[in-house]
Chain A
Amino acid sequence: MRLKYLPAFWFTKITILLLKLLGRSQGTALPGLLMEQLAPDSLNDFTDQLKYTILITGTNGKTTTQSILSNIFKASKLNYIANKSGSNMIRGILSTFINQSNWLGKIKPKYGIFEIEEATLPKIVTAMNPKQIIVTNLFRDQLDAYGEIDRTEKFIREALEKAPQAVAILNADDPRVALLTRGFSNQTLYFSLNAPEKKFFKYEGLSLEKLEIVPSEATELKINPNLSTSFKFLAENYTLKLPGIHNVYNVLAAVLAARLLKIKTAEIHEAVLETLPAFGRGEILKLNNTALQILLIKNPAGLNLTLELLTHTKNSNLIMILNDNIADGRDVSWIWDAELEILNKIQPAEIIVSGKRAWDMLLRIKYVFSEFTKKSENLWQVGDTNIKIIPEQSDLILFLNSENQAKHYFVLPTYTAMLEFRKLITGKAIVA
Chain B
Amino acid sequence: MAYCNTPLHLNEIMSNNLQLNLVHLYPEEMNIYGDMGNIIALKQRALWRNIEVNYQVVDKKTSQVDLEKINGDLYFMGGGQDNDMFLVFADLINYKKKFIETEISKNKLFLLICGAFQLFGKFFLDAEGRSIAGLEILPLETKAPGNKLTDRCLGNLASNLSPEVLQEISASYPGQVQETLVGFENHSGQTFFTDNSILPLGKVLVGKGNNNEQLIEGAKFKNVFASYSHGSLLPKNPHLADYLISLALKNKYPEFSKLEKLDDEIEWTAHEKFLKRISSK
Contact = CB atoms under 8 A, between A and B. Distances in A.
Interface of A: 143, 145-146, 324, 330-337, 356-357, 359-360, 362-364, 366-367, 370-374
Contacts of A333: 33-35, 37, 184, 230-232
A367 B41 CA distance: 7
Interface of B: 4-5, 7-9, 12, 31, 33-37, 40-41, 44, 47-48, 81-84, 155-156, 184, 186, 230-232, 235-236, 263, 265-267, 269-270, 273-274, 277
Nearest to B4: A374
14 contacts: A332-B231, A333-B33, A334-B34, A336-B34, A336-B36, A337-B34, A356-B277, A359-B273, A362-B266, A364-B235, A366-B266, A370-B48, A373-B9, A374-B7
| A330, A334, A362, A366, most chain B CB atoms within 10 A | A366
Given A371-B8, A374-B5, A374-B263, A336 B232 contact: yes
Contact of B270 (A330, A331, A363, A373): A363
A360 B156 contact: no
Given A336-B235, A337-B36, A331 B230 contact: yes
A356 to B, nearest CB: 7
Contacts of A367: 37, 40-41, 44, 235
B83 A146 contact: yes
Nearest to B43: A367
B274 A360 contact: yes
Contacts of B84: 145
Contacts of B7: 371, 373-374
Nearest to B267: A363
A360 B236 CA distance: 8
Nearest to B184: A331
Given A330-B184, A331-B186, A367-B235, A336 B83 contact: no
A145 B83 contact: yes
Contacts of A145: 81-84
A68 to B, nearest CB: 35
B40 A335 contact: no
Nearest to B236: A363
Nearest to A359: B270
Nearest to A331: B184
Contacts of B47: 370
B43 to A, nearest CB: 9
- Closest 8 pairs between A and B when the two form their complex, measured CB to CB: A336-B37, A333-B34, A336-B34, A359-B270, A333-B33, A145-B81, A336-B232, A331-B184
A291 B3 CA distance: 38
| B34, B35, B277, most chain A CB atoms within 10 A | B34
A371 B184 contact: no
A374 B265 contact: yes
| B7, B8, B186, most chain A CB atoms within 10 A | B8
Given A359-B269, A364-B235, A330 B155 contact: yes
A359 B266 contact: yes
A337 B230 contact: no
B13 to A, nearest CB: 12
A367 B81 CA distance: 26
Contacts of A330: 155-156, 184
A333 B185 CA distance: 10
Contacts of A331: 33, 184, 186, 230-231
Contacts of B81: 143, 145
A225 to B, nearest CB: 30
Nearest to B232: A336
Contacts of A335: 34
A91 B236 CA distance: 47
A266 B34 CA distance: 48
A72 to B, nearest CB: 42
Contacts of A143: 81
Given A334-B33, A367-B37, A367-B235, 15 more contacts: A145-B82, A145-B84, A331-B33, A333-B37, A333-B184, A333-B232, A335-B34, A337-B31, A337-B37, A359-B274, A360-B236, A363-B266, A366-B266, A371-B8, A373-B9
A146 to B, nearest CB: 7
